[in-house]
Amino acid sequence: MSVEIRGKLYEGKAKIVYATDKPDLIVQYFKDDATAFNAQKRGTIVGKGVINNRMSARMFELLERRGVPTHYVATLSDREMLCRRLDIIKIEVIVRNVVAGSLAKRTGLEEGVVNAQPVLEFYYKSDALGDPMINDEHVRLLGLATPKEVAWIRRSALRVNSVLRPHMARRHLTLVDFKLEFGRAGRRLMLGDEISPDTCRLWDVRTKERLDKDRFRRDMGGVEEAYQEVYRRLIGA
- Applying CB under 6 A, the residues found at the interface with ligand UDP are 94, 100-103, 131, 177-179, 199-201, 213
Q: Which residue is nearest to ligand UDP (CB)?
A: 101
Distance in Å, CB of 115 to ligand UDP, minimum: 13
Q: Which of 80/212 has CB closer to ligand UDP? A: 212
Distance in Å, CB of 101 to ligand UDP, minimum: 2
Task: Give the strands of the sheet with 188-191, arranged side by side.
Answer: 87-88, 182-185, 188-191
Q: Which of 126/146 has CB closer to ligand UDP? A: 126
First CA to last CA across the chain, in angstroms?
27
Contacts 24+ apart (CB under 8 A), 115-123: 118/158, 118/161, 119/95, 120/93, 120/94, 120/95, 120/96, 120/154, 120/157, 120/158, 121/93, 121/94, 121/96, 122/91, 122/92, 122/93, 122/94, 123/91, 123/92, 123/94
Distance in Å, CB of 94 to ligand UDP, minimum: 5
Q: Which of 20/199 has CB closer to ligand UDP? A: 199
Distance in Å, CB of 131 to ligand UDP, minimum: 6
Q: Which of 25/191 has CB closer to ligand UDP? A: 191
Distance in Å, CB of 38 to ligand UDP, minimum: 8
Q: Which of 76/160 has CB closer to ligand UDP? A: 160
Distance in Å, CB of 226 to ligand UDP, minimum: 13
Q: Which of 15/201 has CB closer to ligand UDP? A: 201
Distance in Å, CB of 122 to ligand UDP, minimum: 11
Q: Which of 47/101 has CB closer to ligand UDP? A: 101
